Chains A and B, each alone.
Chain A
């Protein structure tokens, strides 16, 4: 059994035992390749009020030494949240998810969800990243391997 599977088993049993923070719920974790979680944002932020968003986690064999691939995905009543760091195809530009920037193996599914939840909660801009349309049309790379420039600490 791989390192990743054992680590994910630990995370899953902790989630079943202790639950997840408010606004975060596990939707699907049938295997150790891909999990789905829903997040909601609380507070008065009108951008996301009353909505749910779905995150897809893809784990490689080297998780947690390497970060999972985390994207937003659409579904029934699930849209891609508007955010200047979230492309309309669901790709999230967040240093925490980058192997060469902010990822650390002590992060886990829960902590990543909490970071993304607060990234939404603090956003006031109803817009997509610059160059969104071109990026979405052209990008063929896996989100983990895109060299984003993390230059905007304001959102």
Chain B
């Protein structure tokens, strides 16, 4: 039997490229979920990977870096938190 595809609807899922059960150290939500301030996961609530190798939801790490007491340091390793602008 020959089948002729006339039309199809593509469906895709996406995931962040991190271990599946990895959570943001600040909010403890999985990276594929949103930070507590956001409703929808995905591009509006991106991850930020520091040059030190530690990742957080962008909103979570900005909340921390925005405080005076953070001194701009990574919450995990206390090195200066820097990231590649993409």
Contact = CB atoms under 8 A, between A and B. Distances in A.
Interface in B15-55: 25-29, 36-37
Contact of B75 (A1, A66, A100, A106): A106
B40 to A, nearest CB: 15
Contacts, number: 44
Interface residues of B, number: 16
A6 B30 CA distance: 13
Mostly, the A contact residues are: loop
B28 A7 contact: yes
A96 to B, nearest CB: 12
Contact of B36 (A3, A99, A104): A3
5 contacts: A3-B27, A99-B69, A103-B69, A105-B25, A106-B25
Interface of B: 25-29, 36-37, 60, 63-64, 67-69, 75-76, 78
Interface of A: 1-3, 6-7, 10-11, 14, 64-66, 99-100, 103-106, 108
